Structure 1
Amino acid sequence: MKLKTMLLATTLIAAPLIAAPLSSQAQTFNPPPVTGPYVSFGGGGNFLQNEHIVGANGNTSDASLASHFGGVAVGALGYGLGNGLRLEFEGDYRHNGFSSGKNFGYPAGAGGGETKFGPMFNVVYDLTGLIPSFPYVAPYAGVGVGYQWTRLNSFHTYNDATGFPRQFSDDSRGALAYQAIIGAVIPFRFLPQLATTIEYRFLGTADRSYDATVETAPGVADTNGRVKLGNDFNHALLIGIRYDFGAPTPPPPAAPSPVAVPAPAAARSYLVFFDWDKATLTDRARAIVKEAADNSTRVQYTRIEVNGYTDTSGTPRYNVGLSERRARAVAGELIRDGVPQNAIDIHGLGETHLLVSTGPGVREPQNRRVEIIVR
């Protein structure tokens, strides 16, 4: 079985297995930006646009080669910077068989195929923060540059009526390449390190000139002939998997937090709310913090607790860090308003102790808060 056939068959068999967790994603959180290393693999089908044959004067002729659909496989090592940007080093493989010749001036047949493979360096940006209307998937887009080796495998063209002229090539050439990527990642609900990926990729390569044998008549052959192909434009659809080494494993059921003791009746509390995935104070939030700071000077207090919380739209690990950043932002504002730093206890409690009870993956404004408790 040819490799391209194996790739297509493997993709068709694997697709329902890879996509199986999608039916359980209705309660999935909004995936946070990738932080740290990851690996990804994908496979699928590709379509190669007609390749023009470049004439001796360097101009693109009307003659072109049509191709069959082919297979594609991609593997990448990547690193997420935590701010939406990801850097990837990728290796790819594509194959297409030639089906016929177009606009040769005679009825032209074609056979053999073209194989492309090589390294690419990609810059990808996760669009979750820019497109918040996607609650169950994390869309992304990227661009890449690199180098592709392109090999003609038993390539030949011929006059379908008379047999001549004919040309043959089994040569390899390299060329600079570039690509654009649009995709989406869908995390597995109970294993956030692993995710399904669905991608469209456009790959282009520059002109290549191959050694060829050209026969103009029976027994008349030029073994030093050349065939030059114009820009190679390839469109691919892939489904794959990604493993994120920086994603947290689902935590065990949490025991009651010892620091989350309800405030006694004599304590005063103030709530400061935040925008989604933000730890910056609004003008209204600063006014509430100022009120808490002013009131703390009018009563005899022992401690001031600053407890940060989030909603459930991120991973537990990410939410703990976000809640702590919110608590520190409020504590910093209290200090600026005259509260002694040594009087403040800061806690980041993540998505625990929700004001509004929700399932996972819900952006609830009332749960994105910091509570100031003056004891």
Structure 2
Amino acid sequence: MTMKNKLGLIAAGAAAMALFPAAASAKEGPYIGLSGGLVLPGDSNNSGAFDATVPATDDFGAIPADTPLGWNTEFDNGYAINGQIGYAFDNGFRVELEGSYTRYDVDRHSGLTVGGANIDGVDVAVLTRGAPAATNPTVGAVIADGRGRVSNFGLFGNVFYDINTGSSFKPYVGAGIGYQWADIQFRPSGVDVADDNDGGFAYQLMAGASFALSDNAEIFGQYTWRDRTDTAEVPLNLLPATLGVETGQSIISAGVRVKFGR
């Protein structure tokens, strides 16, 4: 999601709050929730640098330390499981602690660059430091086999505003901040490129709607944009390098809330 779209979501929420300044006489009190859904991960423009010099061989020159490298990773759609504990106020606001787990697989990698030069068409021996041969695959052919996955676990503090419509149907908007751990495994063509995890601060923007089934239960559907404030820094196993992996996600979920208010 672009910054323009994110700002648009926030502006839409603010406009809705202005149009409905008086929240419904919502039932005040604690609640718990459970939801799950579809994860639509954004592509990752991975970027990093070599931590140490790769020595020269008879066939290939040395790769000095601090040489930049990077490639693009496309992901398959995945799934999300979320749990919430919150408190609803009678003025329409809710505060919430949320735990979330998302997972999605790698579709393909492409566009490997070293020092700014694309080496997709070069013999893979340039990376393995083996002997070049006509039977060897190219770098691009090896990394296009998208084995691997990314798993994220996050804890977020959220604030929501439920908009009064005078009915059982309530649109809402919200935002949250928290911390997210990313566990990243890249194994194109079975090659152990990366398998590590890293944590960092994260944020999310939400918009959705709920429908009351009774005084104490409601179902809801929600769109969430979630991203970290930095990239997940992962040391590589194939090369002496560290790679920054992007973990932005769109999440479409549905669930149920049970209230315990008076």
TM-score (structure 2 length as normaliser): 0.68
Letter in structure 1 aligned against 2:182: T
Letter in structure 2 aligned against 1:225: A
Larger Rg: 1
Q: Identity of counterpart residues, as a percentage?
A: 25
Matched length: 196
CA–CA distance in structure 2, aligned partners of residues 179 and 242 of structure 1: 20
Consecutive aligned runs of 4 or more in structure 1 exceeding 4 Å deviation: none
Matched, 1:35 2:28: yes
**Of Structure 1 and Structure 2, which has the larger fraction of its residues in helix?**
1
Unaligned runs of 5+ in 1: 1-29, 215-221, 248-375
CA–CA distance in structure 1, aligned partners of residues 74 and 155 of structure 2: 26
Which residue does the alignment assign to 1:144?
176
Q: State the SS of the aligned residue for 2:215.
A: strand
Specify which of 228, 237, 242 is matched with residue 226 of structure 1.
242
Question: CA-to-partner distance for each residue in 1:38-87, whole Å, 9 max, x for gaps?
Answer: 111101111100011113299x9773100011010110100112111111
CA–CA distance in structure 2, aligned partners of residues 102 and 182 of structure 1: 34
Q: RMSD value over aligned CA atoms?
A: 2.5
Which residue does the alignment assign to 1:241?
256
CA–CA distance in structure 1, aligned partners of residues 241 and 252 of structure 2: 36
CA–CA distance in structure 2, aligned partners of residues 193 and 114 of structure 1: 36
CA–CA distance in structure 1, aligned partners of residues 234 and 200 of structure 2: 12
Matched, 1:56 2:56: no
TM-score (structure 1 length as normaliser): 0.48
Letter in structure 2 aligned against 1:126: D
Question: CA-to-partner distance for each residue in 1:269-309, whole Å, 9 max, x for gaps?
Answer: xxxxxxxxxxxxxxxxxxxxxxxxxxxxxxxxxxxxxxxxx
CA displacement at 1:101 relative to structure 2: 1.1
Question: CA-to-partner distance for each residue in 1:176-222, whole Å, 9 max, x for gaps?
Answer: 1100111111011xx320111111111101211112212xxxxxxx4
Question: CA-to-partner distance for each residue in 1:121-165, whole Å, 9 max, x for gaps?
Answer: 00111112xxx3x74411111000000110013x2246xxxx9xx
CA–CA distance in structure 2, aligned partners of residues 81 and 135 of structure 1: 17
Question: With CA pairs under 8 Å and 6+ residues apart, which has the higher RCO, 1 or 2?
Answer: 2
* Distance change in 2, residues 1:122/1:72 (3 Å): same
Q: State the SS of the aligned residue for 2:216.
A: strand
Unaligned runs of 5+ in 2: 1-22, 51-65, 113-117, 121-139
Which residue does the alignment assign to 2:163?
127
